[in-house]
Structure 1
């Protein structure tokens, strides 16, 4: 059996590759059409970059796998503390950097950041407080948080590990029902019905990797089928946003390519790479994803020209990668340890309080 740590090294590398796909989509395709780069773009990259959003699908499937693994054998409290420690400090640092950059380097097509908007990001899902995201890429983080919330609740009531097959089957059925008949925006957000196939695929893949069953395999297949339908569900929004249709063949391949990539990374032995390097590359993925979009647009909009765009792209990638590496090494680890330690102290106090009352 392949060791869990070895499988995670592949997933770390795949996470970085996925982030680079999304970066390619934003810089190589979206920026020129939306005008967010001040008219600067990379039309040479567009035929490939237009498919870069497959990186998002890979991200969601990886999350399903990794979050299910992180929940294994843990209490709901420990799971929540671990997730908060992992996500929140880096998110706030990156949101703050983005707000500062957009204040001094405004993007003509984007509203200027406000103090209220920044404060709303303390809760990560700022839209719930009526404030737009400081960066358009944050919408995927909101879906991640919702997924974590459901896992937390399922662990808390003690049904996650035993009844995961039933739970995922119901989730997929509700997703199909909502996307085909109900069309509820609230239900779509609450249950992530457009992308549930990817989260469910990762979840089922981990469970089957730990203990195979034919019913679990059926759940995995159902998740894969629904995931394959996702590009067709979201394509109308793509057409409305960018004014172009993508090929049917490409849409057919997006889901299977994402799922196969995650399955290979999770199930095969690790690539011949030093573990420390793989962990480092995987660690910088999260801040890189949070920082790249609007900060890149701001730099291109204020300094980019047709002649300097490639040089500027290289400079942006270098600076953002270095900044992401610094954040992943100096911010996230100590902040995570501090949050987890504080949560343990709080848990200890809460466990002793009934005795004192008695």
Structure 2
């Protein structure tokens, strides 16, 4: 029996996460007027032109998420998938929500807290589903991620195989393409036509990583890249405003999206397997808490100290402070709390399994082995 070669950690994927996070940070600090009280183009005339496209880091996040979540569900049951997602998402989030609320309450300069009831509801991460205001505007992406997890949970229930994931990608593509014209709000809400191309392409890229590239998978990626162009004007208007979006060229947006696809594709094909810098692991680890805390806390600090420090020094200092705080949250909250949540939830799931009668297999339908191309392989090394 041949031994499988050790699979290298995808450190480049961690680096891409950090780049995406810093793109969003730069967009909020350098392109939006809320921090400065006026158009920051007068403060950063050159950097502003690049920073105003930093919102595309969210699209890169969704692309990476499709890749990583597809990896994380392989060989796992529904309970294990739920444990992995809850223990990953909530510890840092439960720190970010009250921390942001306290800073904004102390200095209501760029935004305000409408009521502590909103803060409490935000702790569930389901506030967007019941029209409760987000404590921080970046939390809208978390609800998009949660809906993606619900869709992936359906795949887990059906069985995570190469074939089933291809069917899932096809069905989701059709649903996302038709949802805007069918008039079913629930379908549009879960099909997420604006963001589905990135998640689906990420799934296809992971299948390339796991089973090798082929024309079918490249066809899925190309199709998603084309579909992603449909909502570029919408995303520009929602992030930059209709007036600014009308005067800005769309080609930089298309170029950044293509670059994101190309980067994840290169990672899937193993181009960056030799990149194993240890600091990239830390960079990937702090990305999520950095994303959660940077916006309103950082913008409030910039607004509060904008007349006391030179603008470049202030922005660099706030970014450094946010990254250091993100590391502290990861080291002293995410890691220990995540381990405790995983252990506690696994004990609860085991109780459910022990107290749930096993279903008997029908004698007339023998179980068949999985097709050779669908048998589980080892994880590619990203957690």
> Would you say same fold, with TM above 0.5?
yes
Quote the residue 1:39 is aligned against. 38
Quote the residue 1:10 is aligned against. 12
- The CA distance in 1 between the partners of 2:138 and 2:302, in whole Å, is 17
- 1:202-241 per-residue CA deviation (whole Å, 9 max, x = no partner) reads 0011112212444333323222222343423423434545
- The CA distance in 2 between the partners of 1:333 and 1:187, in whole Å, is 36
Q: SS where residue 132 of structure 1 aligns?
A: coil
Deviation at 1:133, TM superposition (A): 0.8
Deviation at 1:339, TM superposition (A): 1.2
1:150 matched to 2:151? The reply is: yes
Deviation at 1:306, TM superposition (A): 8.1
1:269 matched to 2:272? The reply is: yes
Deviates more, 1:219-228 or 1:231-240: 231-240
Contact 2:236 2:245 in 1 (8 A): no
Decide whether aligned partners of structure 1 residues 4 and 14 sit closer, same or farther in structure 2, where only a CA change above 3 A counts. Answer: farther
Quote the residue 2:92 is aligned against. 90
Decide whether aligned partners of structure 1 residues 293 and 207 sit closer, same or farther in structure 2, where only a CA change above 3 A counts. Answer: same
Q: SS where residue 73 of structure 1 aligns?
A: coil
Quote the residue 1:203 is aligned against. 203
Over the aligned positions, Cα root-mean-square deviation in angstroms equals 2.3
Unaligned 5+ residue runs, structure 1? none
Deviates more, 1:258-267 or 1:282-291: 258-267
- 1:270-300 per-residue CA deviation (whole Å, 9 max, x = no partner) reads 354433x211111001111111111111112
Quote the residue 1:76 is aligned against. 78
Contact 2:63 2:198 in 1 (8 A): yes
1:133 matched to 2:167? The reply is: no
- 1:174-228 per-residue CA deviation (whole Å, 9 max, x = no partner) reads 212234x346654333222101100000001111221244433332322222234
Quote the residue 1:318 is aligned against. 320
1:176 matched to 2:174? The reply is: no
Quote the residue 2:56 is aligned against. 54
Which structure has more helix as a fraction of its residues?
1
- The CA distance in 2 between the partners of 1:313 and 1:36, in whole Å, is 10
1:255 matched to 2:247? The reply is: no
Deviation at 1:310, TM superposition (A): 2.1
Compare CA radii of gyration and give the structure with the larger one.
2
Contact 1:102 1:113 in 2 (8 A): no
Contact 2:205 2:264 in 1 (8 A): no
Quote the residue 2:118 is aligned against. 117
Decide whether aligned partners of structure 1 residues 185 and 350 sit closer, same or farther in structure 2, where only a CA change above 3 A counts. Answer: closer
- The CA distance in 2 between the partners of 1:121 and 1:299, in whole Å, is 22
Quote the residue 2:369 is aligned against. none
- The CA distance in 1 between the partners of 2:217 and 2:98, in whole Å, is 43
Deviation at 1:22, TM superposition (A): 0.8
Using the size of structure 2 for normalisation, the TM-score is: 0.84
- 1:147-191 per-residue CA deviation (whole Å, 9 max, x = no partner) reads 111111220233664321122112112212234x34665433322
- The CA distance in 2 between the partners of 1:185 and 1:238, in whole Å, is 23
- The CA distance in 2 between the partners of 1:253 and 1:2, in whole Å, is 36
